[in-house]
Amino acid sequence: MSGKRLLFLLLDYLCLTRPEWTKKLLLGDEDIYKAPDDPKITFISPDMIPHTGDSLRLFCEAFGGTVDLPDAYNEAVWHKELADGTLIKLPKRLYQEKTLREDGQTFGTYLKFESFQLEDAGTYVCVISKPGVSVQKRVSIRDAAVFYIDPNPFPWKQITIACLIVSTLIMSIIVLNRKYGPKVKALVKDNCYAIEDYDGKTNDVLIAYSAEDTELANGIMLPKLEARSYTCTSRKITCDITRCAAEISQYAESSRRIIVILSPAALNDIWTSAQLYQVLKHFQTINTCKIVYVTVRSFPVSGAEVKNNSGESLRSLMSKINIIQWNVSKDANFWFRLCRELPPKRSKYWVKSKSDGMLA
């Protein structure tokens, strides 16, 4: 066996901390690096979306190993790619800066944009070359104004969510108001409004009723209001209800509120818009105190309505007065709605605390 062949068999390979595709061949004191077949990419910039006027730079780098040929070298050059795939040279205002590391085995190039312009948008290709081999890597640059076709899109999703939230809140407020609104308003009136006990009148409430409504007036309403600390009196209307204002006026001067009970029986079963309009207008002649109407049946406001010479109808008159419908089921909100229209009444604890404070 020849000496050269024996020496070849004794060759040993040692892996260094270089990339796995680099090996060092030890032969005496001489180091020989084996270059890869293709340039190995070590870095390439990601796609970018800058704004006009921004400064930015692209960078590509590769490991190509050593080149022993005197007239050959490794290099990386940036080009711009047209829509048809043609590579063109870059304008002079764009600057390319080359870098070398590891004795020229790792090489790269920066592409610098001092001020990005709209015409700079497009695809840029880094051509990485070593003798006999070249690799292309592409980077896309899109201007932010072009990429976001609508920079201020209509926020349908946010508006839909906001509308749902607002609708839910409105529905909740409506439900809570129907259930607790009368009670809260009555409590606020009783505890916050000025009391009317020192106006020279002896009664808080005067209940005016017809003979047909005696049970409702004296059997239900009068004891209920007296239990709530109201000073009450009641008067039965002995004449035609459409001509009883004079009869009630003499008692109204000593009362802070008048509750008028209206029912079909009190109107001789003539429950029409014209008849109700006449009754309400008749009671409006009493101007010494506030009047609250309690009806046992809904007003007939549907269909054609009779209007007076000034164009006033029953519907428009109802919007100016206080009407509360009696609830046969004895709903508590009826009493809260009624008390809300009556003079404020402080609770016994509140009055006692206030008196103690004044004495102190």
Q: What's the domain range around 51?
A: 40-141
Same domain, 231 and 126: no
Same domain, 258 and 334: yes
Spatial separation of the C-alpha atoms in residues 104 and 112, rounded to whole Å: 22
Any domain includes 34: no
Amino acid at 345: K
Same domain, 136 and 241: no
pTM above 0.95, yes or no: no
Domain stops at, among 125, 141, 157: 141
Q: What is the tally of structural domains in the chain?
A: 2
Same domain, 209 and 330: yes
CATH number at residue 339: 3.40.50.10140
- The pLDDT value given to residue 94: 92
Any domain includes 27: no
Cα Rg of the chain (Å, integer): 49
Any domain includes 67: yes
Spatial separation of the C-alpha atoms in residues 23 and 15, rounded to whole Å: 6
Same domain, 119 and 210: no
Spatial separation of the C-alpha atoms in residues 11 and 238, rounded to whole Å: 135
Any domain includes 72: yes
Spatial separation of the C-alpha atoms in residues 360 and 352, rounded to whole Å: 12
Same domain, 217 and 93: no
- Residue among 60, 59, 74 at smallest CA distance from 112: 59
- Residue among 261, 271, 267, 276 at smallest CA distance from 216: 261
Strand partners, 108: 61, 99
Same domain, 115 and 244: no
Domain stops at, among 141, 163, 187: 141
CATH number at residue 55: 2.60.40.10
Spatial separation of the C-alpha atoms in residues 246 and 113, rounded to whole Å: 97
Any domain includes 337: yes
Contact 339, 228 (CB under 8 A): yes
Same domain, 213 and 329: yes
Any domain includes 180: no
Any domain includes 29: no
Any domain includes 193: no
| Six-digit token string for 161 | 């969510």
Same domain, 330 and 216: yes
Spatial separation of the C-alpha atoms in residues 187 and 345, rounded to whole Å: 9
Domain stops at, among 118, 141, 164: 141
Same domain, 218 and 297: yes
Mean pLDDT, consecutive 10-residue stretches, the chain (360 aa), reads 41 43 41 64 93 92 84 88 91 91 90 91 93 90 67 82 94 88 85 83 90 90 90 83 74 87 86 85 83 88 65 82 78 84 71 37
